[in-house]
Each structure stands twice: as C-alpha cells, then as structure tokens.
C-alpha cells in the first residue's frame, strides 16, 4: 500500500508568527522525497502537520484522499521518526521494539530485530543508557520496520557516526525496493543524502520554493572547468555560485541553463562542462540578501 499526499494552500500560524504560508504540492506514492530548508524554514512544522501533531490554520491536507487530523484510519498508516530524548526511558531496546509492534499494522518485528543487530544495539539494555547515536539508530530501525505507507523521517541520523549513517541509508534504499512506500526525508546533510531522493522539496521562509524531480533540479546548474581566461570569458554573463582556481586551471559553478550551442562552443575552447551538486544549488536558492 502506498499513499499519495496533497497539500492545497496549506498555512500554519503560531499566534502572530506564520510558520507556513500557502503551500501546495502533490506527492505520488512510492517515492522518496528530500525535504530541504534552512533552519526555521518550516520543515518540522510541515512534517508535524502531515503527522497530525497539530492542525493547520488554512488550506487542506489529504493523505490517501482523506484529511489526516484526528483520523485514526489514516494515522495508523503514517510513521513519524524524529529526534527525541530517551533520558528517562527505562524500557529495554527489545521492549521498545515490541511496543512499536502493537500499534503498527504493517510492523515487521523480525526485520526490526535484524536492524537492532546490524546497528549493534544491545537488545537487553535500557534505552536511557544508550548513547545519543544509538538511540537515533533505534528510532530509525523502528521507523523502517513499521513499513508504514507514509514514513516521515525528520533528521533521524542525529548523533550517528558516519558508518552507522551509511548503513542506515543502505537499509533504507534496500527496504524501499522490497516494500515501496512514500518516504519524506528532512535533512541538513544534503551532499551526503542527495542520492537517496527521487524528488526534492525546498522550503524557504515558510513558503514552497521548489518541488521537482532530482535530475531536473541538478540540471539547473553546471560546473565549467578549463583555462582560467577561457572560463572567465565563457561565464561572464552567467549567474556564478562559486569559483576555484589551481594554477591556470579554473572551475566555476554557474546557475541556469546552458544551451547546446554554447556547450559546443565551450568544447572548442577546451572547456569541460559538468554537473553541479544539489548542495551548491540549495545554498544558492536559499541565500539571504543582507
């Protein structure tokens, strides 16, 4: 089972502060969506609405065609994994997994315990005695094992070391292939996680800045490399994101479409035009004017 998610004119206010303003999008089931935004952009507010942690103040949300707020039929199909403290949690790791099984109709207990082993989590140790990274790994393991048609992961890697994060990403992709669902991943580790995304959503100052498939997004920029004088001449009228130079060789990252005839002219000048990273584009798109 996979759920489509639709927002239409979605807004959220906290008193006089507007956290989200007039957001509309449609997420097709079975894809992995990367949710990006600077601190305070509204990412967690949006995810909290999708998880029915709060109610929107304007517009509408539909998950599987139904409004999710106070709708138990929908919310049984939604899992929200976020950073939380287990400092007072006396339950043991295995007990936490067993508790999750009771509330999730698609929960795979055997897979969850397999992940517990892979993440090297002590099954009989109280959760409060785990390190922050190990607690995050436990949350991630439970989140994947829910096999919820809509799985929301809000920076679930907090505290994990690099090998554990890489294991988590690999497990996420493998299990998505075996059991497709709609996944939303909120992250600040853009360069590390971009290969996971089918589509990219960018929020900025509470508004929807961009929602496109990954390939279309990174196609909005390019790197131009070659002799410094030739590169400078080629990019002089383009929007430049950054520049690096070593000796007489220069690389400039630009934003915008480069027509085919311009690419042909670049090759004649011994210039190499390559792809640009999602992180560079994200930084450019959300840069603040001082």
Q: In whole angstroms, give the CA distance from residue 114 to residue 164.
A: 14
Encode pLDDT of 212-253 as tens digits. Answer: 999 999 988 899 999 999 999 999 989 888 889 999 999 999
pLDDT at residue 202, rounded to an integer: 96
For the chain, domains (ranges, CATH) are 5-213 (3.40.50.300), 220-274 (3.30.70.2020)
- On the question of pLDDT at 281 being above 70, the answer is yes
Helix (H, G, I), strand (E, B) or coil at 116: helix
Which pLDDT score, from 0 to 100, does residue 83 have?
A: 81
Please report the DSSP string for 56-67 in residue order.
-SEEEEEETTB-
Q: What is the pLDDT of residue 144?
A: 96
Average pLDDT of 190-210?
95
For 123-190, what is the HEC assignment?
Answer: CCCEHHHCCHHHHHHHHHHHHHHCCCCEEEEECCCCCCCHHHHHHHHHHHHHHHHHCCCEEEEECCCH
Q: At what angle do helices 109-118 and 93-103 cross, to 10 degrees?
A: 150
Give the pLDDT confidence score for residue 84 in this predicted structure: 79
**pTM for the model:** 0.90
- Does the pLDDT of residue 290 top 70, yes or no? no
Strands 182-186 and 32-36, sheet pairing: parallel
What are 72-75's contacts with CB under 8 Å, separation 24+? 75/51
Model confidence over 3-12: pLDDT tens digits? Answer: 999 999 999 9
Query: Which residues face 150 on adjacent strands?
Result: 78, 182
pLDDT digits (tens, 9 = 90+) for 153-172: 999 898 999 999 999 999 99
């Amino acid at each position: 089972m996979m759920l489509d998610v639709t927002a239409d004119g979605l807004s959220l206010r906290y008193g006089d502060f507007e956290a989200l303003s007039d957001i509309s999008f449609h997420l097709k089931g079975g894809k992995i969506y990367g949710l990006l935004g600077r601190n305070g952009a509204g990412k967690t507010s949006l995810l909290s609405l999708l998880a029915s942690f709060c109610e929107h103040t304007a517009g509408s949300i539909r998950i599987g065609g139904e409004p999710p707020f106070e709708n138990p039929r929908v919310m049984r199909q939604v899992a929200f994994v976020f950073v939380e403290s287990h400092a007072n949690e006396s339950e043991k790791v295995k007990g936490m997994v067993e508790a999750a099984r009771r509330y999730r109709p698609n929960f795979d207990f055997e897979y969850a315990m397999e992940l517990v082993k892979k993440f090297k989590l002590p099954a009989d140790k109280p959760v409060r005695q785990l390190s922050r990274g190990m607690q995050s790994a436990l949350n991630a393991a439970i989140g994947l094992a829910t096999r919820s048609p809509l799985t929301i992961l809000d920076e679930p890697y907090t505290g994990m070391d690099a090998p554990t994060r890489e294991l988590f990403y690999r497990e996420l992709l493998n299990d998505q292939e075996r059991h497709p669902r709609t996944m939303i991943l909120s992250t600040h580790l853009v360069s590390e996680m971009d290969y996971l995304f089918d589509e990219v959503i960018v929020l900025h100052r509470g508004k929807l800045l961009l929602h496109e498939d990954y390939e279309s997004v990174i196609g909005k920029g390019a790197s131009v490399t070659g002799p410094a004088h030739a590169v400078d001449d080629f990019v002089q009228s383009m929007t430049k994101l950054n520049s690096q130079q070593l000796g007489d060789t220069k690389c400039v990252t630009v934003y915008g479409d480069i027509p085919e005839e311009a690419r042909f002219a670049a090759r004649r000048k011994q210039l190499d035009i390559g792809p640009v990273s999602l992180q560079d584009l994200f930084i450019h798109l959300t840069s603040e004017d001082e």
